[in-house]
């Protein structure tokens, strides 16, 4: 059974940092591109970042480029998102997903709230 | 970036009827479209990829069609479990982008 579990969300002040983690099981993690997708309260889905299966290629949405860093550890079946200089508009549920183009598997998400 | 426009925003149908959801891309994206279902408080679930290929375990009442800029998700014989949100997504050009969603309601 495929399982993806995100963690690390919480309440942070504007300008602060958080590190999200995602642990996967039930599929060949090291074979998949991995993604972070976010959803602001009551809003739609927005791609944040992706990382190639070997970790050598990363891409970011314009809204987070220079502030967020995606990484992975295939030995631990884990994906990470380091988020710095957080803004109120980064408030969202952050989902971890697996898939080279479409997303085959999704985690349940972790809520990040940026507020003073 | 490519803008995906879904219509209608809300679709009112009755159980057992057919629902037709549309998605238009701002430029041609071949058949690089996926459809997802999202229930309240849950993660999205992949329904369709390649515009028309059902994902594993997806019932045959879900079907997708289209290419270029116009895409359709059809749900035949709607069941109570189908009254929720649906999103289209393009994966032709990064950044991947989603439509704003169509809510299917009774």
Q: A1 CB contacts (<8 Å, ≥6 apart)?
A: A26
How many Cβ atoms are within 10 Å of B81's Cβ, its own excluded? 9
Residues of chain A with pLDDT > 70, as a percent, come to: 100
Reply yes or no on whether the pLDDT at A102 is more than 90.
Answer: no
Distance (Å, whole) CA B79 – CA B87:
18
- How do residues A1-21 score in pLDDT, each as one tens digit? 999 999 999 999 999 999 999
Q: Which residues of B touch A (CB under 8 A)?
A: 32, 34, 36, 38, 42-46, 49, 55, 87, 89, 91, 94-101
Q: Does the CB of A11 have a partner CB in chain B at under 8 Å?
A: no
Site from A36, A44, A98 to mutate, B interface, most B CB atoms within 10 angstroms: A44
Q: Which helix (H) or strand (E) covers residue A5, if one does?
A: strand A3-7
**Distance, in angstroms, between B101 CA and closest chain A CA?**
7
**Residue B13: is its pLDDT beyond 90?**
yes
Angstrom CA distances, A94 to A22, A41, B66, B70, B105, stand at: 10, 11, 30, 29, 26
Instruction: Write down the residue that tokens 């393009």 correspond to.
Output: B90
CB contact under 8 A, A46 and B46: no
Q: What is the pLDDT of residue B41?
A: 87
A94 pLDDT band, cuts 50/70/90, is: very high
- Only one residue has tokens 């985690």, namely A107
**Amino acid A104: pLDDT:** 87
Of A96, A92, A91, the C-alpha closest to A81 is: A96
């Amino acid at each position: 059974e495929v399982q993806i579990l995100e963690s690390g969300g919480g309440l942070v002040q504007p300008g602060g940092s958080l590190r999200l983690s995602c642990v996967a099981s039930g599929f060949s993690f090291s074979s998949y591109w991995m993604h972070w997708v976010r959803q602001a309260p009551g809003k739609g889905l927005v791609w944040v970042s992706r990382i190639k299966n070997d970790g050598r290629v990363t891409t970011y949405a314009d809204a987070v480029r220079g502030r967020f860093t995606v990484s992975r550890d295939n030995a631990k079946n884990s994906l990470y998102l380091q988020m710095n200089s957080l803004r109120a508009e980064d408030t969202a549920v952050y989902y971890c997903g697996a898939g080279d183009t479409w997303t085959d598997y999704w985690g349940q998400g972790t809520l990040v709230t940026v507020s003073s | 970036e490519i803008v995906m426009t879904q219509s209608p925003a809300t679709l009112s149908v009755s159980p057992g009827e057919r629902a037709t959801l549309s998605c238009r891309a701002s430029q041609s994206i071949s058949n690089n479209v996926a459809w997802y279902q999202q229930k309240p408080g849950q993660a999205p679930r992949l329904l369709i990829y390649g515009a028309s290929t059902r994902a594993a375990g997806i019932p045959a009442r879900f079907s997708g069609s289209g290419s270029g800029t116009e895409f359709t998700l059809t749900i035949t014989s709607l069941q109570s479990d189908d009254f929720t949100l649906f999103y289209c997504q393009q994966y032709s050009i990064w950044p991947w982008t989603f439509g704003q969603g169509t809510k299917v309601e009774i």
